[in-house]
Structure 1
Amino acid sequence: MRLVNRIAALVVLLSAVSAGSSDSNSILIKGGTVVAFNQETQGLRVIRGGSVLVENDRITGVFDGAPSRVPKGAEIFDAKGKIITPGFIDTHRHGWQTVFKTIGSNTTLIEFFFRYSSLVAPFFWNASDVYDSQLAGLYEALNAGVTTSLDHATHTWSKDAADAGFQASIDSGARVLWAFSFANITDVVTVEQQYPIFRALAKKPGLKNSPTTLAIAYDAWGPNPNVAEIDKIMALAREVNVSAITTHSLQGPWGSDNSPEDIHALNYLNISIPIVFSHASFLSATGRDLLRSTNQYISITPESEMHYGQTHPVSSLIQDQASLGVDTHMTFSTDILTQARIWLQQTRYERYLDVLEQTKLPKTNPMSAEQAFLLATRSGALALRRPDLGAIFTGAKADLLVWDGDSPPLLGWDDPVAAVILHASVGDIEAVIVDGKWAKKGGKLISKGYPEARKKFLSTAKRLQEVWRGLPLPELPPVWNGHPVVDPERVDVKRGEGDGYGSVYI
């Protein structure tokens, strides 16, 4: 080895050693109630008056009382009276659509496809728009305690748009599995044109030092797949060693695309890369068995599936292979806490109804707050095959939330899990740590980039919302996937004439 190379290598080695032993990146969260993880039972372990030690990007100590060691120079965070939990994990999100917030409040899924999706946006959006919208959406998620998200990035219609969304994910400081969407969009882009874009993004500077990773999204697995195209995409997945693969999977009246059976028939289901099936609302019994045998997961998006009419008639039957997602937060909540609460009560309702329809009365509660908590945290980690996420234990990644135990909703709490799942709001999240770094503190986002991102986003949102206000509503097809498209019965909340449906105030 040449001398100059030896010197350079020595500098790198010393820097790595220094980074690993530095006390300057240490945080001790002291004296709070810690919702820790019991690795033996795979359940929760509540520690009152406990402490969590963070060094660099890892949890290096979880203490039942006073910490046995405190690194020199460590920042001490007083958590007395507060609740410490792992960050939430969102396994299905479309962050780039943030600018559409509130203008699609009553939209249906079919209308969404023809008005707000990547079938329309490329003709009006530029790369800066994608960057501003993606970044603002991720800051919004961080503020709500979502520390990890699997982003189904359907904004990959050009090199510049794809690069912008990926860079925004890196710049956010969040842990994002950014899933490049391979899709043929008429008059916009082909999958063949996307291959070099994807390869270039895999070599993006700064990626190695970021919690953000590259993943793949693909929605054409079947029932009539382009096998050559799929083989090429999967070869790329192995070449780049992507962190995950994700696909929209609905079935039922919505279509038969992208089922576990489709991917299994192509010999790509039982692989080392995690595959997340978003929604899977009408998953068959065979599909459920395949997920269990191959250890693949679905992402239930409760509010989305209610809003758009996908529903989720069988999802409660596969909760052992399920996680939670948000989907298009432009139309509803951005946070996983809301999804966990909705899903908990929806599942309780369904199981109670099973008993009541037999003219019997329920003796016990069919789903617990702890189960909802695990779905919002640990299950997401398992879906992504990241056992170091979604839990508090020594060696886990330092993705943490601190809840204000004295806030009005939490005042008087005793059970910290029930306090979070059933009583808290995202406004009660006092602090957020991602990868060992503060993202929120004192109830406010503290990223240096947020003020400028906020300013740019407001300008971008105002301009694009003005464009969309001027677009005529799409004419929806009378038949979709062989099923008639009809109006459901509209509810009435107004006495006398009219039903109170009102308008969209934009």
Structure 2
Amino acid sequence: MRPINAIAILPLCLTAVGAASTLFRGGTVVAFNKQTQGLNVIRGGSVLITNDRITGVFTSAPSKVPAGTEIVDITGKIITPGFIDTHRHGWQTAFKTIASNTTLIEFFGRYSSFVAPFFWNATDVYDSQLAGLYEALNAGVTSSLDHATHTWSKDASSAGLQACIDSGARVFWGFTFANITGLVTVEDLYPVIREMAKKPGLRNSPTTLGIAYDGWGPNPNVAEINKIMALAKELNVSVITTHSLQGPWGFNNSPEDIHALNYLNISTPIVFSHASFLTPAGAALLRSTNQYISITPESEMHYGQTHPVSYNIQDQASLGIDTHITFSTDILTQARIWLQQTRYERYLDVLEQSKLPRSNPMSAEQAFLLATRHGGLALRRPDLGIIAEGAKADLVIWDGNSPALLGWVDPVAAVILHASVGDIEAVLVDGKWVKRGGKLVAKGWPDARANFLRTAKRLQAIWRDMPMPEPPAEFNGVPVVSPVQADVLRGPGNGYGNVYI
């Protein structure tokens, strides 16, 4: 037996006797190799966690462990770091399945924070946010960057943040500064974020305070931005995030916009969600300032933002979910979709030259790193998204004997290309079990489920009776037209059908 990336284990054994520790023994460990910055697969390996940290990664079972250590046999199983989602709107969970065919323009006018606050109360926000986080934990997503657009009032803000704390998930909660006509202004929100920073329980939870803001450009309110950034410094926020969508959509919030205001090259991470039309100059700025984008593959396909250039900036990219009300809430699905979409695009580059591809343009390991390690890099948290000594004990254990994984040899391919959420046997955040034996064991889950069902039923009834808006003739000065609709039926009709709500 020898430790990997070793920090001597013997002093740990002598000094950490009183600490809560667990040893996962005998499984296949998808560890991180600090020398290559890639993966290191250890078969028959072991992982020791003490309190909230990984304190040992071994090629076999260690001979000495702290007294009172819980021993968990994971023979035949795969243990990986938890997935990291760098863009989501968790509070919207109650809208799930009622927006399956929606467009982005319809989303803005029907499901966004510019509409919902006039119907939602703080309890709704709490129930919906909490249920969404439990859903993500069940899917092995241990860390989320939440662009928390539910901060339209003190009560709604407090409810959403409390749900993050109560979930046990690692949430980078991005308090959103936005003007909502008839309800709230950015100026109203300055004292609210200060109150959120003092919220009881926040400091002792995995949740941290961040800021979300979409007013960087092209016509910024510089005084407003300076005030928000002063608050970011005062409150020592963990992250800043922004929707970045250029091209025909007409939004900016580009790296160039933030750089022009002298706020790009700062110690706080800035995550650009989507960045679908990132320019070469923007990409160069990201690399020079070490800032990241969050690619949300399913969202960008569903809503039509697309991602025409994101394949070229994967060295400064992570993966996100976005609006999980309309599709998957798990990063595993996003990693798989993005892997195959990248392969498709790079193959197409060759085929359009009337040539044939000699090699596969993207690997399962690269997709795995985007879903784990790169999320930690985007958040400037090198202790997240990896299995290595000193890293946070955010772990996922996969059932290697499930029908989907039975007979696996390569654990990375098994997870990225064959597994599903149903193959996740256990999840830990900060060394605490939130899923075990294939079931959520997070504190409060049974009550949260019942409360959410009541909340969702009430809100879905309101939206069911709400008239559908007519599509505008133009959006941000750009004509709005209908794409060619798919046809899946022979003869008359095309099978488009309805939303069955």
TM over 0.5: yes
2:336 matched to 1:310? no
Aligned length: 487
- 1:106-185 to structure 2, matched below 5 A, reads 106-185=101-180
Q: 1:85 aligns with which of 80, 85, 99?
A: 80
2:46 — aligned with what?
Answer: 51
2:270 matched to 1:275? yes
Indicate conservation of the 8 Å contact 1:23/1:55, yes or no. Answer: no
2:269 partner amino acid: P
2:112 partner amino acid: S
1:192 — aligned with what?
Answer: 187
- 1:459-498 to structure 2, matched below 5 A, reads 459-498=454-493
- 1:15-26 to structure 2, matched below 5 A, reads 21=16, 23=18, 25-26=20-21
1:251 partner amino acid: Q
1:406 partner amino acid: N
- Taking the aligned partners of 2:449 and 2:350, their CA distance within structure 1 comes to 50
Q: 1:71 aligns with which of 61, 66, 71?
A: 66
- 1:342-361 to structure 2, matched below 5 A, reads 342-361=337-356
Shift of 1:239: 0.3
2:344 matched to 1:363? no
- Taking the aligned partners of 1:334 and 1:201, their CA distance within structure 2 comes to 26
Indicate conservation of the 8 Å contact 2:17/2:67, yes or no. Answer: no
2:47 matched to 1:42? no
Q: 1:341 aligns with which of 332, 336, 345?
A: 336
**Which one is further off, 250-259 or 307-316?**
250-259
Indicate conservation of the 8 Å contact 2:76/2:401, yes or no. Answer: yes
SS at match of 1:208: coil
Q: Percent identity?
A: 79
2:3 — aligned with what?
Answer: none
- 1:390-429 to structure 2, matched below 5 A, reads 390-429=385-424
SS at match of 2:203: helix
Shift of 1:256: 3.8
2:453 — aligned with what?
Answer: 458
**Which one is further off, 255-264 or 128-137?**
255-264
Indicate conservation of the 8 Å contact 2:89/2:148, yes or no. Answer: yes
Shift of 1:67: 1.3
Shift of 1:195: 0.3
Indicate conservation of the 8 Å contact 2:29/2:46, yes or no. Answer: yes
- Taking the aligned partners of 1:242 and 1:261, their CA distance within structure 2 comes to 22
Shift of 1:481: 1.7
- Taking the aligned partners of 1:44 and 1:332, their CA distance within structure 2 comes to 29
Q: 1:261 aligns with which of 233, 256, 261?
A: 256
Shift of 1:71: 1.3
SS at match of 2:386: coil
- Taking the aligned partners of 2:396 and 2:249, their CA distance within structure 1 comes to 38
Indicate conservation of the 8 Å contact 1:93/1:327, yes or no. Answer: yes
Q: 2:496 aligns with which of 498, 501, 504?
A: 501
SS at match of 1:491: coil
Indicate conservation of the 8 Å contact 1:479/1:485, yes or no. Answer: yes
- Taking the aligned partners of 1:361 and 1:53, their CA distance within structure 2 comes to 47
Indicate conservation of the 8 Å contact 2:86/2:294, yes or no. Answer: yes
CA deviation string 1:327-359 (max 9, x = no partner): 000000000000000000000000000000000
1:106 partner amino acid: N
- Taking the aligned partners of 2:400 and 2:438, their CA distance within structure 1 comes to 13
- Taking the aligned partners of 1:128 and 1:452, their CA distance within structure 2 comes to 13
Cα distance change on mapping 1:62 and 1:381 into 2, 3 Å: same
Q: 2:23 aligns with which of 12, 24, 28?
A: 28
- Which runs of 4 or more aligned residues in structure 1 lie more than 3 Å from their structure 2 counterparts after TM superposition? 20-24
Shift of 1:66: 1.5
Scaled by the length of structure 1, the TM-score of the pair is 0.96
- Taking the aligned partners of 2:415 and 2:426, their CA distance within structure 1 comes to 14
- Taking the aligned partners of 2:453 and 2:475, their CA distance within structure 1 comes to 36
2:318 — aligned with what?
Answer: 323
- Taking the aligned partners of 2:116 and 2:107, their CA distance within structure 1 comes to 11
Shift of 1:24: 5.6
- Taking the aligned partners of 1:259 and 1:237, their CA distance within structure 2 comes to 19
Indicate conservation of the 8 Å contact 1:23/1:74, yes or no. Answer: no
Indicate conservation of the 8 Å contact 1:250/1:282, yes or no. Answer: yes
CA deviation string 1:207-260 (max 9, x = no partner): 111000000000010000000000000000000000000000010001142000
Unpaired stretches in structure 1, ≥5 consecutive residues? 1-19
SS at match of 1:233: helix
SS at match of 1:207: coil
- Taking the aligned partners of 1:311 and 1:132, their CA distance within structure 2 comes to 32
2:244 — aligned with what?
Answer: 249
Shift of 1:73: 1.0
- Taking the aligned partners of 2:471 and 2:202, their CA distance within structure 1 comes to 41
Shift of 1:476: 2.6
Indicate conservation of the 8 Å contact 2:16/2:66, yes or no. Answer: no
- Taking the aligned partners of 1:315 and 1:277, their CA distance within structure 2 comes to 12
2:244 matched to 1:235? no
SS at match of 1:209: coil
2:77 partner amino acid: K
- Taking the aligned partners of 1:266 and 1:448, their CA distance within structure 2 comes to 44
Shift of 1:317: 0.3
Shift of 1:482: 1.7
2:57 matched to 1:62? yes
1:297 partner amino acid: Y
Indicate conservation of the 8 Å contact 1:132/1:453, yes or no. Answer: yes
1:291 partner amino acid: L
2:436 — aligned with what?
Answer: 441
Shift of 1:474: 1.5
1:32 partner amino acid: G
1:439 partner amino acid: V
2:90 — aligned with what?
Answer: 95
1:386 — aligned with what?
Answer: 381
SS at match of 1:65: coil
SS at match of 2:304: coil
- Taking the aligned partners of 2:127 and 2:384, their CA distance within structure 1 comes to 28
**Which one is further off, 373-382 or 468-477?**
468-477
- Taking the aligned partners of 1:256 and 1:132, their CA distance within structure 2 comes to 31
- Taking the aligned partners of 2:79 and 2:313, their CA distance within structure 1 comes to 29
